[in-house]
Amino acid sequence: MSFPLFNRSLDQFGANPALISDADSITYAGLQKRVDQRINEWQLRVGSLRPLVILRMANTINSVVNYLACLQAHYPCIVVNSNARDEVVAAIVQQFSPNVLIEEGSFRLLSQQQLNLAAELGILLSTSGSTGSQQFVALSMQNLIANTRSILAYLPIENNDVTLASLPFSYSYGLSVLHTHLAMGAGVRLTDLTVMDKGFWTLLKEANIASLNGVPSWYEMLLRLRFERKVLPDLRYLTQAGGKLAESMVVKLADYADHHNKQLFVMYGQTEATARMAYLPADKVAAKPGSIGQAIPNGQLAIINEVGESIHNAREIGELVYQGPNVMLGYVNNHEGLASFSPSHTLRTGDIGYFDEEGDFFITGRLKRIIKLFGERCSLDEVEFALMQSGFDVRCVGKDDELVICCTSGQCDAIKQYAIQLLRVPPKAITMHEVKEWPLLTNGKTDYTALYDQLPVNA
Amino acid sequence: MDNNAKIKQVFCQALGIQPEQVTDDLTYNTIEQWDSTAHMILVAELEDSFDVMLDTDDIIDMSTVGKAKEILAKYDIQF
């Protein structure tokens, strides 16, 4: 059977290792066989139904088999991280009424009712890993194929490469690493080890890892752990996305790459564009460490002003707009929204920036109040709303990867405990700040800029 | 300041904890203040205060206060 994502069967890569875990590994032929088997098992349960699946996904062989089986069987699936709380999963089930809940080896039939699902619907990804439900991005198989092809046109992935899957597959960047490697017949090394485990560093040395992919906080950890001193002859290139890595760190990584004959790709994207929208060619990173480069092949990036007109002058600031075949079908909040889509192929990114005289783009800020907590997009408004719903009078502010919850009530500790549970982040990720009263704008709304400015410097 | 007082001060500052909490047995990941992010801050401050440059294994092995002293001893810091 031909595999829809790559227009051919996984079988064609035969005995190449596809997925390698600490305990196990599977070849492409073996993977295709397991995917086919799994679809057969499922079809016995759902018959001719085209089910909406909620898939709890871990970085395991079993989860990847489930995911690929959904794609091949043309079952739309809502991809959720396996460590999402049960309440979060229950809320998504409420929102979308999926037919089936799949996790590792388990298959739970929730409903037999055929939902009205658009033919082109492929997968649904969350835009905010932290607060769970709310808004999902609907992507088509065409989106996945188009983005995979664009990425393969610039990343030097080779047939006998093995990459390390250090990003969760429930996250668009992690998923793009999986897609691109499977499309090339390359290997994906799965692991639960973190950079704080000795085993991680042994793995880097001994598992023939050709590439690493990570978000800013991950590279910061790598550098603090003296990554630049490691001799890793098999490693050929690094990719970084998922937010802005401090320029000083980009320079350090670029130096490392330069001295050790490796390449560093700084990339830019959003789940709304499947994953990738732009990348900086490795040979430009030393000269322009703050740049996201230019649009990926088959895509276009532009800057527009407040009234939506294209800006043609270099260094003039406006909003980044992307156009390409990888732009999502649309946002959805419930199953009624899955019936039909009218995609525009144009994405207003909400990022503010400019391009230079050579056409390389730079990001300088964001239009919306969104930060990154441990690589996951986190809307300050959503966190604030969730806490207010629970009876806490709070305002959330923050920048880059810093979340500050402000309160007036003197309930700092209780709110912090609650927020840690809600967002599933370590205590360090949240700073509490107590204020006497909320600074207000003339229209009576909270003045978030003033609130942020009154924080202690190292809050 | 002797090295014992110095290391105590570094732990207090880096992890935001009280001096009486800093015993040789205090272990990484057993209190919320000593997680992986705080560990990196701790390592940077230990390096600054004792003027050493630790390597990857040192940083990963530094799982208790006692272990930190042992590791620093390798760099001729006496406790």
Looking at the partner chain, which of A194, A230, A428 has a beta carbon nearest the beta carbon of B38?
A428
Asked if the model's pLDDT at residue A202 lies above 80, the reply is yes
Residues in chain B closer than 8 A to A427 (CB atoms): 32-33, 35
Closest CA in chain B for residue A217: B37
Considering the domain B3-74, what is its CATH architecture? Orthogonal Bundle (1.10)
Distance from CA of B49 to the nearest CA of A (A): 17
Token reading at A130: 């932290």
Distance from CA of B46 to the nearest CA of A (A): 13
Distance from CA of B1 to the nearest CA of A (A): 27
Amino acid occupying residue A199: G
CA dihedral A353, A356, A358, A361 (to 10 degrees): -20
Distance from CA of A226 to the nearest CA of B (A): 6
User: Residue A370's pLDDT is what?
Assistant: 79
What is the pTM (predicted TM-score) of this model?
0.84
pLDDT digits (tens, 9 = 90+) for A343-373: 999 999 989 899 999 999 999 877 778 788 8
Where exactly are the structural domains of chain B?
Answer: 3-74
Q: Which of B30, B45, B52, B60 to mutate to test the interface with A (most CBs of A within 10 A)?
A: B60
Partner-chain contact B40 A221, CB within 8 Å: yes
Q: Which of B28, B53, B54, B56 to mutate to test the interface with A (most CBs of A within 10 A)?
A: B56
For range A2-23, the mean pLDDT:
83
Distance from CA of B77 to the nearest CA of A (A): 21
Q: How confident is the model at residue A95 (pLDDT cuts 50, 70, 90)?
A: very high
CB interface of A with B, residues 37-56, below 8 Å: none
Closest CA in chain A for residue B29: A426
Between CA A95 and CA A73 the distance in angstroms is 23
User: Residue A444's pLDDT is what?
Assistant: 66
Token reading at A359: 């056409």
Partner-chain contact A225 B60, CB within 8 Å: yes
Residues in chain B closer than 8 A to A197 (CB atoms): 60
For range A316-327, the mean pLDDT:
95
Highest mean pLDDT (candidates A142-151, A387-396, A426-435)? A142-151
Residues in chain A closer than 8 A to B56 (CB atoms): 201, 225-227, 229-230
Partner-chain contact A224 B55, CB within 8 Å: no
Asked if the model's pLDDT at residue A377 lies above 70, the reply is yes
Token reading at A161: 């490469």
pLDDT digits (tens, 9 = 90+) for A9-18: 898 899 999 9
Partner-chain contact B36 A198, CB within 8 Å: no
Task: Answer positive or negative: Cα dihedral of A378, A382, A386, A388.
Answer: positive
Asked if the model's pLDDT at residue A389 lies above 80, the reply is no
Chain B residues near any Cβ of chain A (below 8 Å): 32-33, 35-40, 43-44, 54-57, 59-61
For range A158-175, the mean pLDDT:
95
Asked if the model's pLDDT at residue A239 lies above 80, the reply is yes
Please tell me the least confidently modeled range out of A52-66, A264-278, A364-378: A364-378
CATH of domain A370-453: 3.30.300.30
More confident call, A186 vs A128: A186
Between CA A307 and CA A326 the distance in angstroms is 25
Adjacent-strand bridge partners of A77? A53, A123
Looking at the partner chain, which of B35, B44, B61 has a beta carbon nearest the beta carbon of A428?
B35
Partner-chain contact A198 B33, CB within 8 Å: no
Q: How confident is the model at residue A6 (pLDDT cuts 50, 70, 90)?
A: low
Asked if the model's pLDDT at residue A131 lies above 60, the reply is no
For range A387-407, the mean pLDDT:
86
Asked if the model's pLDDT at residue A426 lies above 70, the reply is yes
Q: A10-365: which CATH number, 3.40.50.720, 3.40.50.12780, 3.40.50.2020, 3.30.465.10?
A: 3.40.50.12780
Q: Boundaries of CATH 3.40.50.12780 in chain A? A: 10-365
Partner-chain contact B43 A224, CB within 8 Å: yes
Cβ neighbourhood burial of A446 (10 Å; 0-12, 13-18, 19+): middle
% of chain A exceeding 70 in pLDDT: 95
CA distances from A95 to A65, A215, A254 (A): 26, 30, 45
Helix/strand/coil (H, E, C) string of A316-338? CCEEEEEECCCCCCEEECCHHHH
Distance from CA of A267 to the nearest CA of B (A): 24
Residues in chain B closer than 8 A to A429 (CB atoms): 37
For range A80-86, the mean pLDDT:
90
For range A71-76, the mean pLDDT:
96
Residues in chain B closer than 8 A to A198 (CB atoms): 57, 60-61
Q: Boundaries of CATH 3.30.300.30 in chain A? A: 370-453
The size of the A-B interface in CB pairs under 8 A is: 40
Asked if the model's pLDDT at residue A443 lies above 70, the reply is no
User: Residue A459's pLDDT is what?
Assistant: 43
More confident call, A78 vs A7: A78
User: Residue A132's pLDDT is what?
Assistant: 46
Distance from CA of B60 to the nearest CA of A (A): 6
**Which of these, A250, A257, A254, lies nearest to A230 by C-alpha position?**
A257
The torsion angles phi and psi of A329, rounded to 5 degrees, stand at: -70, -35
Partner-chain contact A229 B56, CB within 8 Å: yes
Partner-chain contact B36 A194, CB within 8 Å: yes
Distance from CA of A123 to the nearest CA of B (A): 33
Please identify which residue in the block is written with the tokens 């430009």: A284
Task: Answer positive or negative: Cα dihedral of B25, B29, B30, B33.
Answer: positive
